[in-house]
Amino acid sequence: MTTIDERRSEAVFDDFKPAYNKAQALAEANRCLYCEDAPCIQACPTSINIPEFIRKIATENMRGSARTIFDSNILGMSCSRVCPVETLCVGDCVYNHLDAPPIQIGKLQRYSTDLAYDAGWSFYEPGEDTGKTVGLVGAGPASLACAHELRRLGHGCTVYEKRDVVGGLNTTGVAPYKMRADRSEEEVDWVLSIGGIEVRTGVQFGRDLGLAEMESMHDAVFFGAGLGADRMLDVPGGDGDAVQGAVHWIEQMKLGRVALGGVQRAVVVGGGNTAVDAVRELIGLGVPNVLMVYRGPEASMSGYQHEWVEAKKDGARGLWGAVPVAFEGDQPVTLRCQRLDGDKKPIAGAFTTVKADLVLLAIGQGKLGGLLEGLDGVTVQWGRLVVDADGFSGRKGLFAGGDAANGGKEVVNAAAEGKRAAQAIDRYLKGAK
Amino acid sequence: MADLTSNTGGIISPNPFWLASAPPANSGDQIMRAFDHGWGGAVWKTLGSPIQNVSSRFGATNYRGTAAIGFNNIELITDRPLEVNFREIAEVKKRYPKHAVIVSLMVETRDEWQDIIKRSIDAGADGLELNFGCPHGMCERGMGSAVGQEPSVNEKITSWAKEFSTVPVLVKLTPNVADILPHGMAAQAGGGDGVSLINTIKSIIGVDIDRMVLNPRVGGLSTNGGYCGAAVKPIALHMAASLARDPEFKLPISGIGGVTNWRDAVEFLLLGSSSVQVCTEVMLRGYRIVEDMIEGLNDYMDDKGMATMGDLVGRAIPSYSEWGNLDLNYETIAEIDSGTCIGCNKCMVACHDGAHQCIHPPTDGGHVPTIDLDECVGCNLCQIVCPVPDCITMVEVDNGFSRATWNDHINDGAALRPKKGAH
């Protein structure tokens, strides 16, 4: 595994939500009401038994607490940091109905899982060898969760990853004030420590390896390749040096260094979570003026409100109802923006210009379903590989999960889908499907 | 993985966690759900001549925002027909043959004891528990604690039960006595196979200060109830350990009183209980609490290299001594970690007003109180009030004096170190 550059740009970020110490964790854990059939559990895509792991923190049954988390979600450590808990478990905590502060489930989960990592606890053994093997495309959260569960069920696993780093977006894409890349790599090591998961890096599906080859080598295939490259704007000047894809830029920032010397004004185009992350990252790296340009009104952006509120506290500003139609000049580049109404429809003759030294486009990523399109039994819809609730694609032995199948959701969704698919693969390999 | 199999006087259960005879063990449906959650045994809610209960029945004591650290009840024994209870006992034993079902009993006459014991055993009871403990209601009718407070009656009824029973007999003792030992010895003399303790403590849980009526209120009146819950654990530990450490007392113990989690359970086990019984925490949180108990106990035993319950039960008993055998020359002093101290000065006020006036205000504009080591008696109070984990530690001091107890001093003139803090 590669060692990530210690001098990389993301290294300057501290945790936005600092870790709990023991006194804080105990105080918060003892505040939990230990609800039965708890709304927080229902809000968690991996259904972690949250009241139970919190109770175990309170009783100082720390191994039990961590085990309770990992039993449901083997990526519980990264999820504790990167989950949008405000819209999931914490958002559904019953304390909200009391207008009292909800339990800080993410921070408690981080306390518990960090302790497990620090102590070197491992809880899982591989199942009895079945002699079957599964090939997994992509070494991101979906494939890791799938492979770990498959190992517990006794199946051999080979993960094919196009990069030379593993962990997928947890390593290359997560906002560094939530989790830095080295922590993601530690998680990968921890997950792989169950043994029997071979990871082949530098192997790109569709270029170095095809489905037919995988199907000939393995008894089943899990497609967890995530999403493709940033979408770019097909407008004049859209291919200029100052215009970059946000996901690409974030990866550079996390794994290497991004050059921001002389960048006084940055624009992020888009209104989703990648856009909000990029805004906060640019500000955190010292860019004085960061503007989000979004085609809809502020209230309709798809990025989480709680994240955008923090971005605004950091000094971010927004230009609403605007979409670039041309990038003119260079250093600075001038964005010529068409103004849009509340329904995102162009307002005739209304234009605004904005100057920027750097423009990041966070307007979505390409889908990889095309790599599988046309194969027997496979349905691809809007670039997504269509699967059933178990992650089954319709083609014998081909399963999928994570962004490649769900179109782009959270790490915790990928973890849930990967695990569920593993259980379906197990049933398939045992002849049930 | 440690083997948690528990044996209490011949009653075997897959783990030492039993439901106590109480509302959570009122019916077969409840007990089967509890077994599904992992409970190793259950003591069926006391059978006897079914009674009529009052409304309301429970009260709780709250402390600084924590609800129900103590709990009391004025509920009596089963109010369900005996034949229904026996039918359900049989059903539970049929479906859960490896779990322990102990039937708690409370009747009056020798004939009644004979009859109810036979029916219990016919239904499949793995053991019996004689309820000599309830301190409210039933004792007014000459049962419950009225029996437990009279060693001769305790011994006689225990001997009847042993005469009629083919399964182990546990005697459940009341804590409403000055000294538990004669009562444990009475159970032993009567032939009992074990004791379980404590039953609830006679209590008034509180007063409705607007109505000026005791709680729990039954119309305009109330009565004393039985106190239990987390707050009673120290009393229960003392009573259980008092029996466990007595060389003449040989019976196994099922410990009861304030067990809320695995740590509490380990304490009872270390002090000689072979199993523990839980009621209040289940009433407050549900059967599911047993998961943490099993897991916590198992991990604890693994950490300590203990393979079976025999490695654990009673391990702390040798440390329970008379005061006269404590080393008067052993010395500790408090030490504050300035790195973690938050400057709340709780230790200072506690020491000044409640102990020995040896913690003083911070000096040099800092926020960390200072300890006068020449005056610190090592009482622990500052450590107890400190809100920061591990900030105040009690550090052993080598004062040059060799071990000397009060008994050594009186009998052999052993030298004692100079007193601290005694001005």
User: Any idea where the domains of chain A sit in the sequence?
Assistant: 17-119, 133-228+366-429, 243-361
Residue B388 in tokens: 């920061």
**Whole-number CA gyration radius for chain B:** 24
Contact B296 A34 (CB under 8 A): no
How far apart are the CA of B386 and the nearest CA of chain A, in angstroms? 11
Q: Alpha carbon of A20 to those of A29, A78, A161, A315, A403: distances in Å?
A: 11, 15, 34, 27, 31
List, in sequence order, the alpha helices (H) in A285-377.
Answer: 305-314
pLDDT at B374 over 70: yes
Q: Do B292 and A56 touch (CB under 8 A)?
A: yes
Residues A80-105: b if buried by 16+ CB within 10 A, e if exposed: bbbbbbeebbbbbbeeeeeeeebbbb
> Phi, psi at residue B275, to the nearest 5°?
-145, 165
Q: What does the pLDDT read at residue B65?
A: 87
Q: Closest partner residue to B389 among A22, A36, A52, by Cβ?
A: A22
**Contact (CB, 8 A) for A146 and A421:** yes
Q: What is the pTM of this model?
A: 0.92
pLDDT higher than threshold 50 for residue A108: yes
DSSP state of B319: G
- Asked if the C-beta of A36 comes within 8 angstroms of chain B's C-beta atoms, the answer is yes
Residue A36: exposure state from Cβ atoms within 10 A (0-12, 13-18, ≥19):
exposed
Q: Is A394 a residue whose pLDDT tops 60?
A: yes
pLDDT at A1: 46
Average pLDDT over residues B339-356: 95
The burial of B77, by beta-carbon neighbours within 10 Å (0-12 exposed, 13-18 middle, 19 or more buried), is given as buried
Contacts of B111 (CB under 8 A, 6+ apart): none
Q: What is the mean pLDDT of residues A352-378?
A: 93
Percent of chain A whose pLDDT exceeds 70: 99
pLDDT tier, A92 (very low <50, low <70, confident <90, very high otherwise): very high
Helix, coil or strand: residue A335: strand
Task: Over range B273-288, report the average pLDDT.
Answer: 98
Which of 3.40.1280.10, 3.40.50.1370, 1.10.287.130, 3.50.50.60 would CATH assign to domain A243-361?
3.50.50.60
Is the minimum CB–CB distance between A34 and chain B shorter than 8 Å?
A: yes
Q: Determine phi and psi for B17, rounding to 5 degrees.
A: -95, 115
DSSP state of A117: H
Q: Tell me whether the CATH fold assigned to A133-228+366-429 matches the one assigned to A243-361.
A: yes
A27, closest residue in chain B (CA to CA): B387
Task: With beta carbons less than 8 A apart as the criterion, state whether B279 and B133 touch.
Answer: no
What confidence tens digit (pLDDT) does each residue in B128-163 have? 999 998 888 888 888 888 889 999 999 999 999 999
Q: Does B124 touch chain A (CB under 8 A)?
A: no
Q: Work out the widest C-alpha separation in chain A, in whole angstroms.
A: 69
Search chain A and give the residue with CA nearest B265.
A59
Q: Is the pLDDT of residue A253 over 90?
A: yes
User: Taking 80 as the threshold, does the pLDDT of residue A243 lie above it?
Assistant: yes
Token pair belonging to A229: 């490259």
Say how far apart CA B90 and CA A365 lie, in whole Å: 64
Who contacts A265 (Cβ-Cβ below 8 Å, separation ≥6)?
A287, A288, A289, A290, A291, A332, A355, A356, A357, A358
ipTM of the complex as predicted:
0.89
pLDDT at B365: 86
CB within 8 Å: B263 and A56: no
CATH of domain A17-119: 1.10.1060.10
For residue A418, pLDDT over 60 is answered with yes
Distance from CA of B202 to the nearest CA of A (A): 29
Q: Which of B285, B292, B389 faces A64 most closely, judged by CB atoms?
A: B292
- Please tell me the predicted confidence (pLDDT) of residue A432: 55
What size, in residues, is chain A?
433
Q: Which CATH architecture has domain A133-228+366-429?
A: 3-Layer(bba) Sandwich (3.50)
3-state secondary structure of A209: strand
Give residue-wise pLDDT tens across range B79-131. 999 999 999 999 999 999 999 999 999 999 999 999 999 999 999 999 999 99
On the question of a cis peptide bond just before residue A84, with omega within 30 degrees of 0, the verdict is no
Q: Write down all domains in chain B, each with its CATH number in brackets.
A: 6-319 (3.20.20.70), 324-412 (3.30.70.20)
The average confidence (pLDDT) of chain A is 96
- Write out pLDDT tens, residues B23-77: 999 999 999 999 999 999 999 999 999 999 999 999 999 998 889 999 999 999 9
* Cα–Cα distance measured from residue B378 to residue B400, given in angstroms and rounded to the nearest whole number: 17
Determine whether the interchain pair B289/A67 forms a contact, defined as Cβ–Cβ distance below 8 Å.
no
Q: What is the mean pLDDT of residues B366-370?
A: 94
The pLDDT tens digits of the residues spanning A31-68 come to 999 999 999 999 999 999 999 999 999 999 999 999 99
Query: Residue B131: which of B51, B194, B77, B82 has the closest Cα?
Result: B77
Min distance A386 CA to chain B CA atoms (Å) = 38
Sequence-distant (6+) residues with CB within 8 A of B212 are none
| Residue B397 in this model has a pLDDT that exceeds 80 | yes
pLDDT confidence tier of residue B421, bands split at 50, 70 and 90: confident
- The residues of B carrying an active-site annotation are 134
Structure tokens at B391: 């900030």
Of A273, A247, A249, give the one whose Cα is nearest residue A263: A249
